[in-house]
Every structure is written in structure tokens, then in C-alpha cells.
Amino acid sequence: MILWNDRIVKREEVQIDIEDRGYQFGDGVYEVIRVYHGKPFQLDEHLERLERSLNEIRLALPYPMEDFKHLLQQLLDKDPVTDGIIYLQVTRGNALRSHAFPSEAKSVVTAYTREMPRPTKSLAEGIGAHLTNDIRWLRCDIKSLNLLGNVLAKQEALDNDCGEALFHRGDIVTEGSSSNVFIKKDGAWLTHPANHLILNGITRRFVMRLMADLEMPVKEEAFKIADLLNADEVIITSTTQEVMPVVSIDGEPVGNGEVGEWTRSLQNAFERHIS
Ligand code: PDD
């Protein structure tokens, strides 16, 4: 089933126009929300970020956010998942192709649920990461449908037998192609400040609260490639990757190449919150 504007319909019934601006320009925003044991995780936080992304690109939902929240809950009731995701997007709608905002177009909302098991094997063993140049635009804080820079980076990572690409702008490490990154160095976690160069991840914020609970110092401070390569522990965080250990970078081990102690404590704390 698909939530299509204000109706929940079969996939075959959805009609997306060839001139939908999401399709032609990537003119829209999206969210990916985790579902654990049938319940959405951090739903309000995701909807708040959606509201922010919408405002930043001067787009509005066709109804109040509260109604959207109810529609998403109805979608999940009609098409339940145990461990999965809700994907949703809002585009600027259908109009004759022309770059400037159309005067008459109505935003188009779509959402669906999908079963997606937790990445338990990688969570246990960790993944390899690959460094790549951050070629994206300068508004990475907006969860925009334009993901070409992210797509190219992720593919480059896979081509290098790695699970994630870590972006750098010059010397500074920003984030992953679909995740935020933290390093543990000199007894503290460091992560890039939440400015225009990264997406302020919902998991990033959640994990920072876990760090505080566990009395692990954490600083929102930019760090360099050399810091990443010399870190004791590295993790990436995202809705689907949770607290994912990075155990090697371009083939070089992080620390001793094993999942670190602080990472394990964070994963355990995360697990307690979702079970
Ligand atoms: N990606 N940075 C980027 C570039 C991302 O695409 C994501 C998430 C994150 C982490 O954000 P969050 O913790 O809110 O999931 C950071 C989603 C999961 C995706 O596009 O599939």
C-alpha cells in the first residue's frame, strides 16, 4: 500500500506525473523512519526535521503535519512491518517543466513501508569505509531528494569493497554518504558540527544523548583526515545502520582492527532503547 497525498491506495493506483518536479529536478525532500517491533522510532523527531527541510526549500505539505502523522500511522496499520522502515517524500508537484517555482503546482506526498531486517552481522563485525572527496552542494543540512553525490560516493565505496564512503572537504571529514561519523580520540567522541555541511542525523542526536548517559565526553568539533586515520574507534550512525562500527579505512585498521569498547557500550545502550 502507498500513501499518496491523503489516500492509502494500492501501488498500481498511484499516478505520478512525468513532469513531477521530484522526478525532473529532484525538487523535494524525504525522510526514512525506522520501525522496530511494529512501532515507528523517533517519529516526532523525523517529522520535525521534515518540517525544517520543507521550510528551507519553501515547500508546504498539502495538510497540517498532525494529519500527516495520522496518515503515516494509518499506513503502518494497513501495511504493517515488524522491523522495517517508512520511506516518505514530498515533491513540488506537477507542472510544465521550467526551473522556477510553478504558481499552480500542488505538492505531492508519497510514503510506503518496507520490511528491513537490522544489519546484525555488520553491527557485530563492523564495516570498512572508503574516503572520498565531498563534491556535494553546500546545503547538506536539507534532506533533499538530490542524492547524486551520495549515490556516486556509495557506489565508489562498494567498488572498493567497503560498506560506506566517508566524505572529506579538503582536510575535514564531514559525514558518510548516508550516515554521520564519530571518532573516538583522546578519551572523547568527536563529530562534525551540525551546520550546512552535514545532515543533522536523528540517530546522531539520539546517540549523543546515549553518550551523555554513559558519561562519554562528546564534542561537536570538525576533525581532520589524519585524526580519523589515527582514531581509537570510529562509528557511523543512521536510521538503518544504527551504531555501526568502522573497523578499517581504505584497508588500514582502525585501532587494533576490532570493534572498540566504547562502541560496544553504545550499541548495548541503543539495543536497550529499541527492545
Ligand atoms: N540517510 N547523513 C546523510 C547524508 C544521510 O543520508 C543520512 C541518513 C544520515 C543519518 O541521518 P539519520 O540518523 O536521521 O538517518 C546522515 C538515510 C537513512 C537514507 O537516505 O537512507
Ligand 1 midpoint to CA 104 (Å): 31
pLDDT in tens, 174-229: 999 999 999 999 999 999 999 999 999 999 999 999 999 999 999 999 999 999 99
The pLDDT value given to residue 142:
98
pLDDT at 104 over 90: no
The pLDDT mean for the chain works out to 98
Report whether 110 contacts 3 (CB < 8 A).
Answer: yes
8 Å CB contact between 203 and 214:
no
Q: From ligand 1's centre to the CA of 177, what distance in Å?
A: 8
Q: Which of 178, 197, 205, 270 to mutate to test the pocket of ligand 1 (most atoms within 8 A of CB)?
A: 178
Residue of the nearest CA to atom 5 in ligand 1? Answer: 178
Q: List domains and CATH numbers for the chain.
A: 2-115 (3.30.470.10), 120-274 (3.20.10.10)
Nearest protein CA to atom 18 of ligand 1, as residue: 239
Split at pLDDT 50, 70, 90, the class of 236 is: very high
The secondary structure of 164-182 as a DSSP string is: EEEEEETTEEEEESSSEEE
- Asked about 143 being catalytic, the answer comes back as yes
Residue with cell 564534542: 219
Q: Which of 235, 56, 236 is nearest to 138 (CA)?
A: 56
pLDDT digits (tens, 9 = 90+) for 19-50: 999 999 999 999 999 999 999 999 999 999 99
Which candidate in 143, 154, 185, 224 is catalytic?
143
Determine the distance separating the centroid of ligand 1 and the alpha carbon of 237, expressed in angstroms: 8
